[in-house]
Chains A and B, each alone.
Chain A
Amino acid sequence: MSLSRRSLLTTGSAALAAASLGWPTSSRAAPSIVATTYPGSFDEAFRAVVGPAFKKSSDGGVTFTPLLGVDQIGKIQASRNTPPFDVVLFDEGPLIPAIASGVLEKFPVERSKSYADIPSAFRHPDGYAPVITAQLIGIAYNPKKITTPPTSWEDLWKPEYKGRVGITGLGSSLGTAFMVEIAKLNGGSETNIEPAFEAMKKLLPNVGAIAASPGALAALFQQGEIDIAFNFWNNVALLAAKGVDIAFAKPKSGAVVIRTSAQIVKNNQDPKAVLDYLDTVMSVETQKGLEAAPWMMMPTNGKVALTGANLTVAKSLDDLIASNVLLDWTKFQPLRGEWITRFSKEVKI
């Protein structure tokens, strides 16, 4: 190689620096923090409930930026010193590399007003910010086409669903959680995914579509492309409320719970506002708002009771934690990259 390692690195990092310096940072002076949301109903709910609540309880405001969890890390890493967001949203999986890359700040437990209300299952073992909502993964189905509600994950393999099952890859928490759960139910574990790939091969005759993302999976129901798929409770409830023929079934082995947290970004512009924001999100009032129709997001504040449709999947928050499945993402998050690539190669219809 004619280029020395050093010169190459210098050029590369200089280019990166130039790219990051190129962005104007003047807008950061505004007394408004920037928080990410997930695109779709998550974003709508936060704008409708969290935005107004935060405005009431603080001097500044909050600007929401809808972004997929995985996209956030790269953006923060590209400009660590002036990060584009102050608060970022992570599912359990992507939170792990985010913590590892050192772009997140620990949560000031002692200064938080809402922390006491959060059950231990939703607190972070290493002192990062707690979980703000739980997403339940179960079976979504079209009740017009499937009259007997499914009862277990194995139902997806039933021959009568030939060509009617929708799946999505391991790029999302949804697909990953499903694969790990299937591995566990088939003699594998959180680190032994092999049985899940075996099972997936057997599922292929039933698979009608492989969606590029969880959102696309939901759209497939609306298109009538599929009648049954694993999906988030919350997505299903929202679609059903909109009149789509979709219903949710909790497998007898329990739904898989994804714990989603809002984390503090290092070098954020206003640590106090950020803490206020997180306290607002976790507060009883806000959590009640998010829990109510039409959002139906599972709360993580112990003082919030479940209402309406949420009662069909759990009696209470304690019941939600006790009767469903929590995964230890730290065990398999490092393996996911390999799994994603393998899924693209092996799972084909």
Chain B
Amino acid sequence: MEQALSDVRGLSLDLKDIGHAFGATVALDRIDLTVAAGELIALLGPSGCGKTTMLQIIAGFLRPSRGEVRFDGARVEHIPANRRRIGMVFQNYALFPHLTVFENVAYGLRARKTAKDVIAAKVEQMLGLAQMASFARRLPGELSGGQQQRVALARALAIDPGLVLLDEPFSALDKNLRLDMQIEIKSLLKTFGVTSIIVTHDQEEALSMADRIVVLNKGRIEQIDSPDALYDRPASLFISSFIGHTNLLRGTVTDTDRVQLDAGPEIDLGRSAQRRRGTPVTISVRPENITFDAERPGAIPVTIRATVPLGAVSVTEGVTATGEAVKVSQARASGLAKVQAGDMAWLAISDVSRVSIFSTPVDDVSKHQQRSV
């Protein structure tokens, strides 16, 4: 049995040039995505980015206005949801409130007219894996959020799906519980070898769960990459501010490899800025890539606003003369610079190679900046 479970049994998914519009509103545009069998993908994006529409199209609740959906190479747009062999886990779990845990997990099997004893065995196995065996007779209303989550997953997996879709599966959980459940569910999905797609607006969730992350913005795919690549090499200003925290600083290209920051110093990128001289740019520097420095040319002068201890790290925020906020993240273990609100301080970029440059209109920059504060 253990052997069978670790087999790759998920199906592969291809989306080709998917487009969808609700009336005049374009929800999805030119979506191309290939998911390998057994892969765990996160669809990440802010609300209204089109990720739910995409999920509904994959699940078969919505027929795309344009494009192809293929499961294991075969087109499925015409196949209704109830014949797609997809397991779904909803944001609110959508457990049937009038059915017991057992009946919930058995629902898909009964719909498939499975023999009674087979159902009993399968449900028992599923509940065992989800560590919910002792709750079989309970009603969903009598379970905690985490327990409901496990039942929802057991129900989705009981039908031996080729694909599991999880729609914001952790958003209803306590923050403390979230990481535990993320690890637990990731391991369950991996054990089953099922292809999985998690829809989320929470970048931490996406980073911790997914093999690859698809970042959606305004109905389009901005970037598809591994969590690390996404973090270190964001393809757009949007991603750099959406994934993790970052500091955005305005500046102007002064030479092939140099940028004059509005906040003061000119920095040496150590590589080509790939823009003509005089181009206004925004550079993105992660808080952990900034350190406190002494007063010297090249350091950024700021006025300290506040320091927030966050357990393992401590985050200090300063404001440049131009009013741009800059966060500095320091590992507690390596000792903290002693600064107080109102102090003058100088900041330096530790690793210039991890700085991203974007040419973006300034008013757009300030908007992103406000959101990240």
- A contacts B directly (C-beta below 8 A): no
